Amino acid sequence: MKRFLSICGRGIDIAERISNLGSGWLIIFIILLILSDVSCRFFVSKSIAGAYNLAEIIMVGICFLPMAYTQREKGHVAVDFLVLRLKERPRQAMEMVSTFLSFVISILLFYRSAAEAKIAVDLLLTTSGIVKWPAWPLKILVAFGFFLLCIRIAIQLSQQMRLIIRGREHHAF
């Protein structure tokens, strides 16, 4: 069982890193797209058709793909000036409650985004504008981002519960 969990943990780590890397490549692509569009407007006095819509679409991947990796690296915004003043056990309990609430909210967001992705795939949803870009892959990216986030938060929650039960010092996850 321990070996299975270790393999799953490594798989999640790899998926988080790949999705984070994918987000980075999307940033590079959007920079090149906008640079090309501005250059075309400057030199040819014409914009690239659909570039603005495509840039909007790419932002979805940039925002939702790295969520789990950011959670793992503790990069999300947290207001913890009161919690840090508590003693170790109450602080761990408060962090566990906070993580549990984050988990519940993430599951709800995953459930809803997966339902929206299914509808978008069934309809082969496209964007409006000059160029009809497919929108259904973006809905899948949002659901995938929330799925990875749910898994990461579940891992952190289980680690926090184990620390509270064993009564050990709180460590980074």
Tell me the per-residue pLDDT of 49-93, one tens digit each, with 9 for 90 and over: 888 889 989 999 999 999 999 999 888 777 777 777 888 778 888
Check: pTM over 0.75? Answer yes or no: yes
Tally of structural domains, the chain: 1
CB–CB of 53/130 below 8 Å? yes
Q: Is 126 helix (H, G, I), strand (E, B) or coil?
A: strand
In a domain, residue 89? The reply is yes
In a domain, 173, yes or no: no
In a domain, 90, yes or no: yes
- Token reading at 4: 């299975």
Give the domain range for residue 125.
2-166
Instruction: Note whether residue 124 is domain-resident.
Output: yes
| Residue 68 · residue 145 · CB < 8 Å | yes
pLDDT, tens only, 109-143? 999 999 999 999 999 999 887 888 899 999 999 99
CA dihedral of residues 152, 158, 98, 79 (deg, nearest 10): -60
